[in-house]
Amino acid sequence: MTAYASYPSLRGRSVLVSGGATGLGAEFVSQFAAQGASVAFVDVQDAAGEALAAETGAVFRRVDVSDLEAYAAAIADLAAATGPFTVLVNNAANDARHRSAEVTPAFWDERMRVNLDHHFFATQAVVPMMRAAGGGSVINLGSISTHIKLRDLVVYRTAKAAIEGLTRALAQELGPDGIRVNCIVPGWVMTARQLEHWVDAEAEATIEREQALSRRLVPADVARMALWLAADDSAACTAQSWVVDGGWM
């Protein structure tokens, strides 16, 4: 039987997850809640968000994270409900494919808002809470797509590359306050959305060829890395990218 770690330092810790209603985000919400953390999450999918809140006891708020003012206001409200956040998981994203020739300035801005900007502004909103608590952990979500050959994803890949730079810059700036900033770089994870849209027979063959491990990655694999980065067990780790990709090469 496989058994996984539990982290005493996560008990009662206040955690915010963006894009928490489905996919990896939902697994983060479930796993942090199972560790006894006090979890809040935001998303644009009402039904999935409400169902997950009922199942886990986490607090859900419908917010579009690309509306930066609404998101900042929601963070303040949610912190009043769950306690000041000392863990932030910047997870919301949109990986819909796009052809470079068809990218307009408006599309570029919209995709940067949903894939990049909120990472910075949510961090800005929680930093005073983390400072007051004597420290915290910010966990950004990068992507293997920045590092491998993929088509029709230039804007998304650019945003995900920027998140790795943002991680290092914020880690330097916030380190003196005991605030750690790390980036998880997932490989190809079999979420419902990936299975529905992209994982066909050809993709299966690619995974089999490129991944060192033959097993398929599942959201829980990535969530376990997030737990560790949020817990005191990783207290000396900041400014890094943590790759969970099954050994893609």
CB of residue 70 to ligand NAD, shortest distance in Å:
10
Rounded Cα distance between 193 and 26, Å, is 12
Q: Please, which of residues 175-234 interact with ligand NAD by CB under 6 A?
A: 186, 188-189, 191, 193-194
Residue 24, interface with ligand NAD (CB under 6 A)? yes
Nearer to ligand NAD, 7 or 28 (CB): 28
Provide the 10 A C-beta neighbour count for residue 106: 8
Rounded Cα distance between 139 and 185, Å, is 10
Residue 141, interface with ligand NAD (CB under 6 A)? yes
Nearer to ligand NAD, 112 or 239 (CB): 112
Rounded Cα distance between 165 and 27, Å, is 25
Does the annotation mark 156 as catalytic?
yes
CB of residue 27 to ligand NAD, shortest distance in Å:
8
The residue within the footprint of ligand NAD, chosen from 9, 36, 44, 158 (CB under 6 A), is: 44
Instruction: Name the β-bridge partners of 61.
Output: 42
CB of residue 99 to ligand NAD, shortest distance in Å:
19
Instruction: Name the β-bridge partners of 62.
Output: 43
Nearer to ligand NAD, 176 or 215 (CB): 215
Beta strands in 87-191 (DSSP E): 87-90, 136-141, 179-186
Nearer to ligand NAD, 40 or 133 (CB): 40
Contact 112, 159 (CB under 8 A): yes
Structure tokens at 172: 């330097």
15 secondary structure, DSSP code: E
Q: What does the DSSP assignment read for 79-99? A: HHHH-S-SEEEE---------
Using CB under 6 A as the criterion, what x/- string covers residues 60-99 for binding ligand NAD? ----xxx------------------------xxxxx----
Rounded Cα distance between 125 and 75, Å, is 7
Could you list the active site residues?
A: 156
- List residues binding ligand NAD (CB under 6 A): 19, 21-25, 42-45, 64-66, 91-95, 114, 141, 143-144, 186, 188-189, 191, 193-194
